[in-house]
A and B are shown apart, each in its own frame.
Chain A
Amino acid sequence: MKLTVENISKTYPNGVEALKNVSLEITNGIFGLLGPNGAGKSTLMRTIAALQEADDGSIMLGDIDVAKDKQALREMLGYLPQEFGVYPKVSAIDLLDHMAIMKGIADAQIRKEQVESLLYQVNLWESKEQKLGTFSGGMKQRFGIAQALLGDPKLIIVDEPTAGLDPMQRNRFHNLLSEIGENVIVILSTHIVDDVSDLCNDMAIILNGELKLSGKPLELIKKIEGKVWQGLIEKDVAETLEDDERLISKRLYMGKVKVRLLSDGEPMKGFKLNEPEIEDLYFATINDFRI
């Protein structure tokens, strides 16, 4: 199965250009979509999920034209939006069961099996009879994950799925996703770089509606190999680097500032060459380096 996004553009009535001529090709496996808030990730994902129409361009899943045959897409879709609500007075198991019917699992026995199995996998088994209104943010998020996996989705879109999960749950979710991701397309949007480095075999970085970068993380990272330098410097020195175009990132570290720079040679005294990380790639991209 292959998802082809071709020249998608979207401008909102208020003039915001959410997507500018975005093209992507996504195959089975986990695809990470990185970008800062407001970059257009959610718009892109909603458009792929057929919840929104693009002004231009087309999206094909296999041989399905998403804009024309939404139903066919939906039959294969598992979707977890970034922000969602649930019926507060229904128990987790009842709502999941209801959603399973909507997802085409009409047989009661089979449905029971899958619903129970999913609840177990997202670690909600013990709270399954609880009303969803009483769920904490993390529990609700896990419920959202469970519903996205209902049925047999061939395309799973998860928008910021790990937001609000504690490290243990996040780990558990990563395992679950990587297990499923072998045979289906999973699109995962996140602004947490680790999610991508841990999971994805493909990725893209999107900024201001434009696709800045896409490819396999390992290959992309090669482009900056031998160029990432790190040093621990005083705060007042760090301030002078504010406008330095080589600056990738800086963060406070034990009273000093840990600075990473992108440079062909040693940028400053005391800087050491470092293994590049996806994060460097991400910051480099959004800071508009030419890579």
Chain B
Amino acid sequence: MLLNILRFEVKLGLKKMSFWVYCLIFSSIAFLIVNILGGVIVGMSGVMDNTNWNSPSIIAGFQTFFTIVGTIVCSAIFGNAAYRDFETNMHPLFFTKPIKPSSYYLGRFGGALILNILIQVTVSLALLIGFLMPYLDQEGIGPFRLDAYIQPFMVFVIPNLFFIGSIIFALAILTRRMLPTYLGTIILFFGYTIAGSLISDIDTRWLAALIDPFGDNAVSDATRYWTPAEKNTLLLPVNKWLLLNRIIWISMGVLFLFIGTKRFDFSHVVGKTKTKQDLDKVVNEPSNIVPVAYKPIFDRSTLLSQFKAKVILEIRRAFLDPYFKGILFTAICFLIMNQWAGDSVNGIKILPVTYRVLGSLTGSFDLFMLILIIFYSGQIIWKERELKADSILDAHPVPNWIPMLSKLIALILIPGIMLFVLMLVGLGIQTWHGFYDYDIHLYVKRLFLLDWTGFILLCVLAFTVQTIVNNKYLGHFIIILYFLFGMFKGMLGFNHTLYFYGSGSGATYSDMNGFSPYVSKVLWYKLYWGSCAVLFAFLSNLFWKRGLVRDIRSRIQQAKIRLSPSIGYGILTFSILFLGSGGYIFYNTNILNDFYPPKHWEKQSADFEKAYKKYEGKPQPKITSVNCSVDLFPKEARLEFSGTYELKNKHDVPIDTIYTAQKDWMYNEYDWGRPSELVFYDSTLGWKMYAFDPPIQPGDEFTLEFSGERKRKGFRNSGVDLLVVENGTMIQSSSLFPSFGYNGGRELSQKLVRKKYDLEERKKLPDHDDIKGNQNALLGDDADWVNFEAVMSTDIDQIAMAPGYLQKEWQEEGRRYFHYKMDDQIFNFFTFVSARYQVLKEEHNGISLEIYHHPKHTYNLETMMDAMKKSIDYYGSIYGPYPYRQCRILEFPRYASFAQSFPNTIPFSEAIGFIMDVDPDDPENLDMPFWVTAHEMGHQWWPHQVSGGSVKGANFMSEGLSEYSAISLLARERGDKQLRKFLKYELDKYLDGRSFDSKEPPIISTEGNEQYIVYNKAGHTLYAMSDIIGTDRFNRALGKFIDRYRYKYDPYPNIGQFISTIREETPEDLQYLITDTFEKITLYENKAKEAIAFENPDGTYTVDLKIEAKKVYSDSLGVQTTAELADWLEIGVFGEDIKDEEKEEVPIYIEKVFITDSISTFEIKLDKKPFKAGIDPLYKFLDRDSKDNLIKVSFNEPLSNNK
């Protein structure tokens, strides 16, 4: 019987059009993606230089992605299988047949499951066939392997379909409604989203791996530190967490199936009969029982009351529904849980300032809203038809727009209410954290003016699709397709905002600058898409289903009849508005500003390189002094600048041509202080060549005077020009001032992209000891150290700043002027800042410490001030005194989130440091403001005193040594726990980063863009090195190095010299460590094997510890070879301590040990009771699996206690 039902279900499904539509669309999308990756549609889009596009992990990723997107199809097919008989009132017929309920249940379920599996099979086939296509760019395609498709299909696709289906099916068949199934789907997505938030924190990754229903995050966790080589060759590892994940979710499916079959029976659900109480009620006779004709009146006021009544009805129906309350409740739980999950990432906590809370709440909520709107649009429109109430209601003397508009209003209110709830949750979270600086205005602007209007657009679209398509599930599906298009439109080559519905209204909020730069852009786009939505609404009105109309032809016919003059005028008006605003947008994006198709810059870079790389390295004069003025007009988003370079030919050959990447609009004035002629100008790529006659002789000095203007012109397709903003301008000199020679910074870097343009693999920076490279500065060959002087002006209420000491400040014509001058030599790299600041000033050992900040951002000023003082003292004691009389931190808006060090001047984004939540009592809570400030302060020595040249390893000396400085200061000031947390964080970032890099270099060959090395690996290994060699020795080496090379140039000091300085201070038996750290990629695979302890009669403890140690060298792709072990490692034991009534682990024994064997045993005597023991307890060595470093100590009864 079961099989018959199953077969019937499958047959029925195969006969349906929708099944084939799903198959066709899904497999075409899959095929399309493959073709996009393979470079067929719009050229290369893959970003992976050394991971194949058809590597097992990527195939698995796609398959999982399609089961996630396929949830919508699941709910249609499973829901239909369960609900169909109730919808069509067939159930009494089936339920009276001699079928066992369980056969009916399982047969239907099984049939739907098979249909879903078939759809996913077509997806996998499309991927498989797609990747076999010979016309794909074979560079990125690895060998075909069938198991790469089958394994994830078995591990992810089928189990996912099974449990998604069993949940949806059970909900639909037991409640005999469809809405609960949507709720079920939403909860599944919540699991996915929350897992996504949890995966970023090292300590909660295991949880993320478990609670993701689709298994995606479990895979991310398992393959997190995989190198490209591993990604290309290995199938997905089924590790502990992944296995547990699968077990949990498959059991969940089995559970639902079990409950479903148990609870499901064929009983007829009868309406609840009246209770006795009700019957006893005294019923009065009505006031009038004679049938009298009541003359209806049809006028405007009737229309109004009809409309009002319908709106109230629709709203009550939508919102008083218990399921809506369920959804609201789920949403609140989700918001709170997600907030909790993302609250602290790796111990970094950020204050719940309104924009942050809003960001994290809304970010994860979008998907939820999307599902809600999709489902509710179908629900609201189809309600009457599903109840068959339409046959009465359609005959009422009510114009179409009344039911249509009331339904639309109810739909629109759903996201509105959700956002309102979100606002309450946000306020609740802020209050709960004891943070009372609520920005109610920001809640209103962000949630209702920006977000809600966006959701309204979506509502209207979904509504219109549902009206016109006239098939609920197909309607849902079309909206999903629209979203998929949104995701992939860039890849398909569509990137103009004018043709993606609802786009163009993104706006970044900054506490300093509000929404100001975005306001006009957002308004215009809202007007544009708003008019489009109104046109859609007219369309729904014309095609509104009323009565019995089936085929498209008669619906069009009907629409023509309905097209009354007033609707016609409405359509005309809004079409004009739509086209008009669209025209204005086009004027802004394509005429005032330049619009570029997706690959424009890629192509420009390639062309530029091909045309002008031949001039690379041609001797150019160097800047020796910069004297400039920058006048900011924040309210007009405009600036004027002018300057004079003093230049010198520092080469020993004459220079007859100066090359410069430049376009005409950049400078109004550009005058060389000696005879010259513009002999070449390429206006497309921007390249000028000036010939000098007589040539510039070695040692010749001359000047260049330049001036220019920048002004925001309307808005661009991709965002808004943020060079000058109303409050909080931060400009780097490189975006204004001239530069000379060919600059390789513009070159394409990805191997495959370069190949597409027939470019050779990019030449890297020269090796660290390259003579030519060491003649040029780290920041380019335009200058070595320069003198700097600037006059800045700005609005009367702002403070403008540039590096240097303030010489004079004055007012003139309602503007404020500042004159800065640097008396030391500095890099040819400056910053210009202006904002309405509050200033905190302190004096420390004759150095003026100043923080220029947004008046509201006072949370961490003391910490930052403290970090400046401590840095000046501590670094001063190691590296020599702080060289300036002043140190300034300048806050700038969060359009960028970094801090950057200039001599005596540190621009610092409002997004970091200023709003961090630091709990001094919680050692696990990373003190970010302190750390970032300490890092930037480190830069005042590295590289602002000792800088490398344009060679490998130079950037490491700047960033890596600043990072080391910050960590060692942090360890000194904040203790071991903070240090451990930090090392773990750096280790994770490093391992994570290397898994994405196509070619990992050892430190000595780093170019500087390997952030995971120059920051994270540097911080980790340099600290570990200092710990092993001895902090004093290591610091002494750094001090020696800085003394030798301070302000040296031509040649600049290089990392080779740095390493040899360290070697000088390192004892012989640790020299291997220097080699391992700087010249090789060294990893350890350390593991605690066994720890057995017993208590001695005297109350002390003895632990027998067995550990395994292994050292490997990795090549640039991550292929590992085992290295011989003769290393100093560290073993340790943790005990338990009670602090503040909470158990905490404290190290009670840490010892450096020399290890040569892979298995070693130790006997450790302790005073305190051990809890955990193992190798490398403080994460000082690079180890991909540091979780197994420690194990719990097991206790043996001591012999003496035996009876």
B391, A114: Cβ atoms closer than 8 Å: no
B395, A77: Cβ atoms closer than 8 Å: yes
B553 to chain A: closest residue by CB: A13
A51, B305: Cβ atoms closer than 8 Å: no
Q: How does the 8 Å CB contact mask read for B366-394 relative to A, with 1 for contact and 0 for none?
A: 00000000000000000010011101111
B295, A51: Cβ atoms closer than 8 Å: no
The residue from A71, A80, A134 contacting B272, defined by CB atoms under 8 A apart: A134
Contacts A52-B548, A102-B397, A106-B297 known; A130 to B388 CB distance under 8 Å? no
A147, B550: Cβ atoms closer than 8 Å: no
B296, A75: Cβ atoms closer than 8 Å: yes
Stretch in B98-106, B285-293, B813-821 with 4+ CB within 8 Å of A: B285-293
B548, A51: Cβ atoms closer than 8 Å: yes
Total of A-B residue pairs, C-beta within 8 Å: 145
Residues of B within 8 A of A102 (CB): 306, 309-310, 393, 396-398
Interface size on A, residues (CB 8 A): 59
B294, A53: Cβ atoms closer than 8 Å: no
A56 within 8 A of B: no
Q: How does the 8 Å CB contact mask read for A197-229 relative to B, with 1 for contact and 0 for none?
A: 000000000000000000000000000000000
B388, A113: Cβ atoms closer than 8 Å: no
Q: What distance in Å separates the Cβ of A29 from its nearest Cβ neighbour in chain B?
A: 17
**Once bound together, how far apart are the Cα atoms of A85 and B278, in whole Å?**
24
B396, A99: Cβ atoms closer than 8 Å: yes
**Once bound together, how far apart are the Cα atoms of A118 and B310, in whole Å?**
22
Contacts A49-B395, A102-B398, A113-B287 known; A134 to B271 CB distance under 8 Å? yes
The residue from A46, A85, A106 contacting B388, defined by CB atoms under 8 A apart: A85
Contacts A101-B305, A101-B306 known; A134 to B273 CB distance under 8 Å? yes
B549 within 8 A of A: yes
A130, B278: Cβ atoms closer than 8 Å: yes
A26 within 8 A of B: no
A125, B302: Cβ atoms closer than 8 Å: no
Q: What distance in Å separates the Cβ of B178 from its nearest Cβ neighbour in chain A?
A: 15
A43 to chain B: closest residue by CB: B548
**Once bound together, how far apart are the Cα atoms of A105 and B297, in whole Å?**
6
B313 within 8 A of A: yes
A151 within 8 A of B: yes
Contacts A46-B547, A120-B289 known; A101 to B309 CB distance under 8 Å? yes
Contacts A83-B388, A116-B288 known; A74 to B271 CB distance under 8 Å? no
Interface residues of A in 72-87 (CB under 8 A from B): 74-75, 77, 79-81, 83-87
Residues of A within 8 A of B393 (CB): 102
**Once bound together, how far apart are the Cα atoms of A98 and B310, in whole Å?**
8
**Once bound together, how far apart are the Cα atoms of A49 and B548, in whole Å?**
11
**Once bound together, how far apart are the Cα atoms of A53 and B551, in whole Å?**
12
Contacts A52-B549, A87-B317, A103-B396 known; A121 to B291 CB distance under 8 Å? yes
Q: What distance in Å separates the Cβ of A247 from its nearest Cβ neighbour in chain B?
A: 34
B296 to chain A: closest residue by CB: A104
B808 within 8 A of A: no
**Once bound together, how far apart are the Cα atoms of A81 and B549, in whole Å?**
16
Residues of A within 8 A of B285 (CB): 120, 125
Residues of A within 8 A of B309 (CB): 98, 101-102
Residues of B within 8 A of A38 (CB): none
Residues of A within 8 A of B387 (CB): 85-88
A176 within 8 A of B: yes
Residues of A within 8 A of B554 (CB): 53
**Once bound together, how far apart are the Cα atoms of A97 and B169, in whole Å?**
38
B273, A86: Cβ atoms closer than 8 Å: no
A117 within 8 A of B: yes
**Once bound together, how far apart are the Cα atoms of A85 and B302, in whole Å?**
25
The residue from B271, B283, B291 contacting A126, defined by CB atoms under 8 A apart: B283
A179 within 8 A of B: yes
Contacts A71-B399, A103-B296, A134-B272 known; A85 to B547 CB distance under 8 Å? no
A180 within 8 A of B: yes
Residues of B within 8 A of A80 (CB): 392
Residues of B within 8 A of A130 (CB): 274, 278
A61 within 8 A of B: no
Residues of B within 8 A of A99 (CB): 392, 396
B283, A75: Cβ atoms closer than 8 Å: no
Residues of A within 8 A of B274 (CB): 127, 130, 134
B548, A46: Cβ atoms closer than 8 Å: yes
A74, B286: Cβ atoms closer than 8 Å: no
* Beyond A50-B395, A84-B391, A103-B396, 5 additional pairs, beta carbon < 8 A: A51-B391, A51-B548, A52-B548, A104-B397, A130-B278
- Taking Cβ atoms with an 8 Å cutoff, the residues of B that contact A are 271-274, 278, 283, 285-298, 301-302, 305-306, 309-310, 313, 317, 384, 387-389, 391-399, 546-551, 554, 557-558, 561
Question: Could you name 13 residue pairs across A and B whose Cβ atoms are closer than 8 Å?
Answer: A52-B547, A53-B554, A68-B561, A74-B397, A80-B392, A98-B309, A104-B397, A106-B302, A117-B292, A121-B291, A133-B271, A134-B271, A152-B295
